[in-house]
Amino acid sequence: MELNLDLNKRYTFADYLTWIDDKRRELWGGFIKMMTPSPNLNHQQLSTALFGTFYSFFKKNKKQCQLFHAPFDVRFPKIDKKVDKEIDTVVQPDIVIVCDKSKLDKYGCIGAPDFIAEIISPSTAKRDMEDKYKLYEQNGVKEYWIVFPREQFINAYYLENDKYVLAGVFTREHSIPVKIFDNKLEIDLKEIFEEDDS
C-alpha cells in the first residue's frame, strides 16, 4: 500500500509507528528523510564483515552491551520528552552498540547508544558526515565511526568534553581500536576491506 506522506509536514515517532510499508525513513526534527531501500553490494559486504567482527568479540567476551544492525530505530528525545508523540528524531544507523539496557525497548533504542557506525554512500555522505555527526555529538554518542567503502578508510571519533575528537583516519593497513571497550578490541581493517584488484 502506497502511503501519501507530506514531506513538508512535521511528524512524531507515534506517526512513524503507523507507517506500514516497505520504505525506509528517518525523522529529523519531525521531517521525513527518505533512505535508500537497498544498499549496494559493497555496503552490505562491509556491514556484514564489521558486524561479524563485533559479534565474534561479544560471543567470546560475554559483553553486557548489545549489538544491532540496520534497520534498527534509534530515537533521540528532547529532555523529559520520552513519549512517542513528543519524539521527532528517529534514525537507523548501520551498526549500533548499546551498553545501557534501560535504553532498550520493543521499538529499539531511546537515547544515545554508546557506539554508532555509518557506512556512507554518495546519497548519504552529507547526512552521515555533517548532519549525523552533529546529531550524535549533541546527544552524547560516545564513539562514532564513518566508514568510506570506496576509499577504504574509517574516520573514528570519540566524545571528549561533549565534543568529537578525531582519533584517526584508519586505512586498510591499520587496526582500529574500539574505545568504548577500553581498546580491548582492535579490528584489523584488512579483514573488513576487500583487497582492491583494480
Residue, of 48 and 81, whose pLDDT is higher: 48
For the segment 42-59, what is each residue's pLDDT rounded down to a tens digit? 889 999 999 999 999 988
Residue, of 198 and 174, whose pLDDT is higher: 174
Structure-derived torsion over alpha carbons of residues 134, 138, 143, 148, reported in degrees to the nearest 10? -10
Q: Is the pLDDT of residue 173 over 80?
A: yes
Q: Which three cell numbers stand for residue 24?
A: 525506509
Peptide bond into 37 cis (omega under 30): no
Residue, of 58 and 81, whose pLDDT is higher: 58
Grid look-up 593497513 returns 173
> What integer best gives the mean pLDDT of the chain?
91
Q: Are 144 and 172 in contact (CB under 8 A)?
A: no
- The predicted model gives 89-118 an average pLDDT of 96
Q: Which three cell numbers stand for residue 85?
A: 508523540
**Domain 40-188 belongs to what topology?**
tt1808, chain A (3.90.1570)
Residue, of 156 and 39, whose pLDDT is higher: 156
Q: Give 81's pLDDT tier (boundaries 50, 70, 90).
A: low
